[in-house]
């Protein structure tokens, strides 16, 4: 397990580079560490995670199908067509499942880490935040979900840059890799139209219903349940409290901060609203583990929201108090990331 501990400890130590004003002192360690983070899932042995063996089977199946069968959905697996298409292309050019894993890891990493460096004022904190909550769960395990979520980052960015067609095309591409992204077709217009920050702060109160009553039966009654979902319906367990807890802390800071968070290059309001809905869904779907994917897709926007809030807070709190807050959050992310290293999620990298 030493590889995982090394990842989180290095990410924690590298957060010190966020204090540098020299762009080169940031970009080179950030790039080098990003390459390492891409290599770990790309070159991981088959079977160290919960899903890679299944992905090998999917790769073999995809390469028994024609392109038309994939495009038309004429296959029995419930795997999105974009991911099946990628498997087919890799097989056609002579690649194997290892090449596929490297390509998916590279695409996911470049999209994620490039987004952090471009959008976040403190990219190393964004990286540490992301690794703690998402790296083992997504990048090393649910790889097509991870790639889909990475594409969603840039879809939202494109919409906020007034490039609606690009944003829509990227969103459709994300959906083609994992259908979880389809929720953005509802969430994005909602966040654009409903903007009251206090209203969003009240949403988690409604989400608390999910702690005492599972909405699963209601959802099945309204929308039905595909046959392949039965395995998830029968499984026990749900989400944890940490997403809701850290999310509420960030939401309270944002809502009751004396003044507005402002940055001409970052739309605080929109990212906050996406994040708040993610926190709400984490509570509402607390008892349904499979639906936590929706909450994590939206919660991921906190990865850039929180560091940019820190940057604005420096004007009010001063550099030393902000440094203390900065350090406390980094310690928490390190602690939470290490707690995620568990045999039920990830097995030893070298056995």
* pLDDT given at position 350: 44
Q: Are 234 and 311 in contact (CB under 8 A)?
A: no
* pLDDT given at position 347: 56
Collapsing DSSP to helix, strand or coil, 142 comes out as coil
Highest-confidence segment of 84-93, 207-216, 231-240, 257-266: 84-93
Q: Which tokens sit at 73?
A: 């959905």
For 254: left if phi > 0, alpha if psi spans -120 to 50, otherwise beta; the answer is: alpha
- The residue behind tokens 């999310």 is 247
pLDDT digits (tens, 9 = 90+) for 92-142: 999 999 999 999 999 999 999 999 999 999 999 999 999 999 998 899 888
CA distance 150 to 217: 31
Domain boundaries, the chain: 1-180, 194-317
How far CA 185 is from CA of 40, 131, 169, 170, 175, in Å, comes to 32, 27, 12, 12, 10
User: The whole model's pTM is what?
Assistant: 0.90
Average per-residue pLDDT for the chain: 88
Judged against a pLDDT cut of 50, whether residue 304 lies above it is answered with yes
* pLDDT given at position 215: 65
Give ∠ CA 161-163-167 in degrees, rounded to 5. 100
Q: Which tokens sit at 246?
A: 């850290």
């Amino acid at each position: 397990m030493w590889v995982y501990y090394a990842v989180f400890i290095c990410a924690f130590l590298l957060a010190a580079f966020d204090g540098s004003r020299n762009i080169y002192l940031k970009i080179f360690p950030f790039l080098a560490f990003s390459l390492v983070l891409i290599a770990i899932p790309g070159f991981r042995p088959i079977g160290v995670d919960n899903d890679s063996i299944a992905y090998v089977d999917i790769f073999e199946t995809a390469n028994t199908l024609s392109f038309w069968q994939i495009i038309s959905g004429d296959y029995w697996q419930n795997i999105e067509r974009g991911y099946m298409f990628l498997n087919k292309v890799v097989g056609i050019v002579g690649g194997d499942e290892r090449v596929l894993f490297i390509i998916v890891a590279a695409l996911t990493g470049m999209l994620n880490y490039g987004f952090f460096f471009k959008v976040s004022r403190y990219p190393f904190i964004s990286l540490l935040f992301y690794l703690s909550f998402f790296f083992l769960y997504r990048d090393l395990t649910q790889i097509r979900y991870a790639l889909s979520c990475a594409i969603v980052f840039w879809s939202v960015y494109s919409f906020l840059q007034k490039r609606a067609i690009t944003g829509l095309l990227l969103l459709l591409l994300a959906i083609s890799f994992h259908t979880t992204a389809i929720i953005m077709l509802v969430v994005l217009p909602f966040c654009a139209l409903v903007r009251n920050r206090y209203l969003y702060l009240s949403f988690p109160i409604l989400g608390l219903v999910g702690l005492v009553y599972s909405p699963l039966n209601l959802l099945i009654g309204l929308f039905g349940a595909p046959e392949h979902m039965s395995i998830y319906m029968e499984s026990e367990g749900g989400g944890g409290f940490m997403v809701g807890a850290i999310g509420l802390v960030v939401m309270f800071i944002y809502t009751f901060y004396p003044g507005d968070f402002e940055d001409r290059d970052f739309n605080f309001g929109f990212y906050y609203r996406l994040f708040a809905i993610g926190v709400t869904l984490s509570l509402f779907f607390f008892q349904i583990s499979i639906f936590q994917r929706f909450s994590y897709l939206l919660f991921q926007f906190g990865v850039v929201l929180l560091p940019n809030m820190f940057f604005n807070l420096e004007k009010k709190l001063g550099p030393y108090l902000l440094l203390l807050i900065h350090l406390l959050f980094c310690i928490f992310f390190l602690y939470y990331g290490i707690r995620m290293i568990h045999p039920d999620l990830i097995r030893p990298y070298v056995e």
